[in-house]
Amino acid sequence: MVRRGIFHLVIWMLLGVCVRGASRDCFENAAYHYLKAAALVPNPRTAEQFDMLMFARTEMRDLPPQGFNAWPEAARWLLRQDAVLEALARATRCKRCVFDISREPSPTLRLDHLGVMRRLIHYGMAVSKAYEYAQNPRTAAEIYGYLLRLIFDLDQDRNLNSALVAVDELQLIMDELVPFLERTDDADAALRVMRVLRTKSRPAFHLGEYLREESRRFSRWLLMDPDAAVEKLNRLYGQQEHRPAVDRLLAVEGAEREELLRRWVMDYESRMIRLADAVERPYLKGISIVRTMDRHRETLVRAGGSLPAGANPLVPLLQPSMERVYQRMLLAEGQIEALRLLCAASIYRSGKGRWPLSTAELYQGKEQRVPRDPFSGQELYYRLVRSRPRIVIRVPRWMARGEMFHYIFDLSEIRERQQRNLESLVKRIRLTAAGQATPNVPVPAGR
């Protein structure tokens, strides 16, 4: 109970920071309402309520809403939390989302809110599925829309850490939202999700801007007080054994030292701008520049304390390795495009009684362009497999290995997998009720 109290105290402290650090009218700042929603998430007061929340957030993942039949009281408990939804709804009416993340003059950022937003998103997904269980798909869709808007609003943090959290949470929401759109035959529910997607311009995340902003922060900080440059660089190196930038600065003094630092910083900023420009180009053009810059950086990293003469020691220290980050962010753009396509297909099915055979049939006579694959630049792959859509993003090979990244959305396979998971849950509950297994799933009272 003490831990939960501390967590809520931290949220209210963050809420206070938002009020002080944001706009003149904080109530027009979505960050205020997101933090308020997080503070309003109910704190389990009993062991049973805690178990119900864990059941909804863990066991119900990758299950259809009928899984709540195992513990309907968990769904009922989630359906009582209107205040959280009201705060989320208010956030969606704000154009700006300004968390107070600056630590000026330090180039590092205060990102405490990211963990809070993760918890809020996970709770929101559980509530959405409870509404679907209660046969209210429109409210369920509305909640998914709130969560998507939250994720899109994290782009306004203008930093890579926030964006990487956002794209991870986007994938989690896709895991629930894609099967939801397959299950529901309510065009209005799909339209509620589509409206949120339409309000977000392409791209949803601005990787180039994050890189430019990062280079500005570090450049300003390093040049702010040249006499303290050695101390600042030591802080950046941390526990690293080799510190070539420090060694080279200590070898010169006075104006020469200041000029050397200025040249390094200008070169670093120029490289970051070039990297930012590259990730904003079409993938097939931008990736070759990114790879070339990554190879140069890696060569300097491997050199350790023996950098070639004339090499900029800030490159291995501050320039990020970008190829896989770039591809991860593009996958998120592809997932959003897949969601746009699936929403349109779901609306079509509601009117026609069947899924569209192709994107040509789906978008015939419409002004909207067919969603595109961010890697190939071509239209997203769309086919019917066993009468349901299969959408594929053409990702790089390393992403296609394993199950970490979701780039294939096969609605027939997803439906079958969730049904198998539901049958497995029912079987475990029956075994538990019969005393044949140690319970690892909460069992409704009376079983």
> What is the domain partition of the chain in residue ranges?
2-200+326-433, 208-321
Higher pLDDT, 384 or 428: 384
Q: What confidence score (pLDDT) does residue 441 get?
A: 42
Q: Would you call 144 helix, strand, or coil by DSSP?
A: helix
Residue-level pLDDT at 81:
80
Does the pLDDT at position 269 exceed 60? yes
Residue 442: the pLDDT is 43
pLDDT of residue 13: 54
- Summarised one tens digit per residue, pLDDT across range 331-366 is 999 999 999 999 999 999 999 999 999 999 999 988
Look at 73 and 444; give whichever has higher pLDDT: 73
The per-residue pLDDT for 429 is 82
Mean pLDDT of 229-256: 94
| Distance separating alpha carbons of residues 207 and 209, to the nearest angstrom | 5
Question: Which band of pLDDT confidence, cut at 50, 70 and 90, is reported for residue 295?
Answer: very high
**In a 3-state reduction of DSSP, which class is residue 370?**
coil
Provide, rounded to the nearest whole percent, the portion of the chain with pLDDT above 90.
83
Q: Which pLDDT does position 391 carry in this prediction? A: 98
**Predicted local distance difference test score (pLDDT) of residue 14:** 53
Task: Provide the H-helix boundaries in 134-243.
Answer: 137-153, 160-183, 187-199, 207-224, 229-237
Confidence grade of residue 142 (pLDDT, cut at 50, 70, 90): very high
Helix axes 82-92, 30-40, angle to 10 degrees: 170
Band of pLDDT at residue 16, cut at 50, 70 and 90: low
Radius of gyration (C-alpha) of the chain in whole angstroms: 25
Greatest Cα-to-Cα distance within the chain, rounded to the nearest angstrom: 82
Q: Which amino acid is at 401?
A: R
How do residues 78-87 score in pLDDT, each as one tens digit? 998 899 999 9
Report the percentage of the chain scoring pLDDT > 70. 90
Q: What is the average per-residue pLDDT within 213-222?
A: 97
Contacts for 230 with CB less than 8 Å, ≥ 6 apart: 246, 249, 250
Q: What is the pLDDT of residue 18?
A: 53
**Taking 80 as the threshold, does the pLDDT of residue 140 lie above it?**
yes
Residue 20 has pLDDT above 90, yes or no: no
- Give the mean model confidence (pLDDT) for residues 397-424: 95
Residues with Cβ within 8 Å of 446's Cβ and at least 6 positions away in sequence, in order, are none
Closest CA to 361 of 340, 344, 374, 338: 344
Mean pLDDT across the chain? 91
CB 442 within 8 A of CB 51: yes
Would you state the pLDDT for residue 447?
31
> What confidence score (pLDDT) does residue 374 get?
97
The neighbouring-strand residues paired with 389 are 384
* Confidence check: pLDDT of 435 > 90: no
Q: What are phi and psi of 391, to 5 degrees?
A: -115, 135
Residue 172, strand partner residues: none
> CA–CA separation, 30 vs 394, rounded Å?
34
Amino acid identity at 130: A
For the question of whether the overall pTM of this predicted structure is more than 0.85, the answer is yes
Residue-level pLDDT at 446: 33
Distance linking the first and last C-alpha atoms of the chain:
28
